[in-house]
Amino acid sequence: MANITRLDQSTINQIAAGEVIDRPASVVKELMENAIDAGATAVTAEIREGGISFIRVTDNGRGIEGEDVPLAFLRHTTSKIRSAEDLLTVKSLGFRGEALSSIAAVAQVELITKTAGSLTGFRYVIEGGEEKKLEEVGTPEGTTIIVRNLFYHTPARKKFLKSAATEGSYISELVQRIALSHPEISVRLIVNNQTRLHTAGNHNLKDIIYAIYGKEVTRELLPAQGGLFCGSLSGYIGKASVSKGNRTWENYFINGRYIKSSLISRALEEAYQGILMQHRYPFCVLHLSVDPACIDVNVHPSKMEIRFQQGEQLYRELVEQLKGVLRGGEMIPSFTVGPEEKPKKPEALPARAPEPFERRRLEQERQAAFPPEKKEAEGRQAQPALIPQAAEAAAYVLDHTPVAGEVRQQELFEEKIVQKNRLDDYQIIGQLFQTYWLIQFQDNLLIIDQHAAHEKVLYEKLAREFRERTVMSQQMNPPAVLTLSPGEEALVKEYGELLKEAGFELEPFGGSEYAVYAMPVDLYQTDSQKLLREIIDGLGEMKGSRESELIFSQIALRSCKSAVKGNQAISKREMEALLAQLLELENPYTCPHGRPVIIRMTRYELEKKFKRVIS
């Protein structure tokens, strides 16, 4: 074994840098977070070749005093905290004092900064951790940091970077998240001399969502707002029509910090259970404002993981809040016949800022377009010297406000399709393919999947009876006999009381066999052995959950086997009876598996297809 020796400072710095800086996106993240912590209301990030050769981040924040500039590039030097106790209540995005030191250890860095009221600013150059120059210069207030040739003297690390296009996409995603996390800050991204994103900093989160995700997503949003035991919740979640096969559309921020949290993901997905299909994940942009004393952000070097003091309580409150939002929104997808127009991408910003009188006109129109509570806070204005095209951003937002306005009009003036106690207003035309019902409601053609509708009615009935402990059982004579594996037998013993509350009665029958003596009345006609095996498998999937209703939701999800099937003729009276039950549900829009129950086509869309109207 080799002798133990002390590493030199250069090696220590590079090891530390590897913990914080692993690719260009890490550099942009640290610099933009520093800008936000410095009180900037406008931040511009510019990259070339995916940020590998060039990164520039400019802000209009407080700047750095001349004597503090060299200190800022030393390890563990920070203006954010003073002692270990401050970690318990830290509110800034950065606080460890490693960002600038780590970046300077692996790149060529130039900093230009000036504080408010100073006559001149300072320019500082440091390469590979070695100081090269510190001089006074004339510059606007704020800070600009230029990072060139990342990993220029560590080729072994540089070769692990991906292509410039891929690294650039990581940066684009990062800047989008920063824009979403701080709608009060004007954020701009320039890639290879082209503006890719420019937000107005007008506090309007929906405008930013539109600029990033487009019209189709924005018009399918539901506003979420409410209190939590440790803070508050605000933002938007998507209807069932907006989902993906992965979690990349789940965006949540705590105190302005983008994080990844299995607890919040579980709460979000639990709220959507029965609304989204299996293996589909919702869209959300959620802001949680939380008392810093309730969380620990000092968990991971990237600061993307957070530990919660009372996680279970937060989980329950989030589920309830989000379920309430989903219950209040109508989620019937519209359909068209034939090709649909593809949504247009936002046009590039104009190359030149408008003339002064145009700026005044745009500002007046912008103030008229946005409600007072969405206006920019007093005293927080972007500095023209740093963002000379701020008026362009206002024009860009103004060009797209009809979309947000259209969403608001739909919410305010469209009559809901699902109306309780108004069965007579729904004219049942008939059954199509012995599977779908055609129904006229005002100026809408509704198509209902009879199996999905009956399945949802049964599911809600079982769930209600379980909550109220009024499930009725039907005795089985003779009883069904199940042969269980040791794992299945353990689950039956662990969840025996819950199975009994759900209407199932089973007892040991000798060896590994169990006798099923009773089933819920609504499920009596189903294959008891197959159904119970599915339920037991579901209990295995839910093992470790702490809420009985969470477990029962899996039971009910697998219990809708007696619903009327497709390709099954039913009478108009049966349709009316089932429709009446469906209209009474809080969420009749999707079956327990997340498939749509109802879709619609408006009379206007139908007449467009027949060329009765031209638009």
Angstrom distance (rounded) from CA 276 to CA 282: 8
Q: Which amino acid is at 331?
A: M
Q: How far apart are the first and last CA of the chain?
A: 81
Averaged pLDDT for residues 342-367: 43
Q: What domains are defined for the chain?
A: 9-198 (3.30.565.10), 205-328 (3.30.230.10), 417-615 (3.30.1540.20)
Q: Cβ-count burial of 155 within 10 angstroms (0-12 exposed, 13-18 middle, 19+ buried)?
A: exposed
**Which of 561, 568, 565, 539 minimizes the C-alpha distance to 459?**
561
Answer whether residue 373 shows pLDDT above 60.
Answer: no
Angle between helices 205-213 and 390-413 (to 10 degrees): 100
Angstrom distance (rounded) from CA 195 to CA 396: 12
Q: Any idea of the CA torsion for 27, 32, 38, 41, to the nearest 10 degrees?
A: 160
Coil, helix or strand for 379?
coil
For residues 86-110, one letter each, b for 16 or more C-beta atoms within 10 angstroms of the residue's C-beta and e for the rest, the string is eeeebebbbbbbbbbbbbbbbbbbb
Q: Give the pLDDT confidence of 306-335 residue by residue, as tens digits.
A: 778 788 888 889 999 999 998 877 777 777
Q: Give the pLDDT confidence of 12-64 residue by residue, as tens digits.
A: 555 555 456 889 999 999 999 999 989 999 999 999 999 999 999 999 999 99
pLDDT at 473: 87
Answer whether residue 73 shows pLDDT above 50.
Answer: yes
Answer whether residue 352 shows pLDDT above 60.
Answer: no
Angstrom distance (rounded) from CA 106 to CA 20: 11
pLDDT band at 93 (very low <50, low <70, confident <90, very high): low
pTM of the model: 0.66
pLDDT at 149: 93
Which tokens hold the place of 471? Answer: 């499930």
pLDDT band at 236 (very low <50, low <70, confident <90, very high): very high
Question: Rounded mean pLDDT of the chain?
Answer: 78
Q: Give the pLDDT confidence of 158-170 residue by residue, as tens digits.
A: 888 999 999 999 9
| Sign, CA torsion 113/118/120/126 | negative
Angstrom distance (rounded) from CA 154 to CA 13: 13
The CA–CA distances, whole Å, from 420 to 344, 416, 493, 582 equal: 38, 10, 42, 9
Answer whether residue 397 shows pLDDT above 80.
Answer: no
Which tokens hold the place of 36? Answer: 């936000």
Q: Give the pLDDT confidence of 286-302 residue by residue, as tens digits.
A: 999 988 878 776 555 55
Angstrom distance (rounded) from CA 228 to CA 441: 39
Q: What percent of the chain has pLDDT over 70?
A: 74
Distance of CA 252 to the CA centre of its chain: 5
pLDDT at 300: 52
Q: Cβ-count burial of 159 within 10 angstroms (0-12 exposed, 13-18 middle, 19+ buried)?
A: exposed
Average the pLDDT over each of 247-256, 297-306, 493-502 and give the range with the smallest value.
297-306
- Between 532 and 202, whose confidence is greater? 202
Angstrom distance (rounded) from CA 269 to CA 274: 10
pLDDT band at 411 (very low <50, low <70, confident <90, very high): very low
Q: Give the pLDDT confidence of 431-443 residue by residue, as tens digits.
A: 999 999 999 999 9
**Which of 12, 1, 143, 156 minimizes the C-alpha distance to 72?**
143
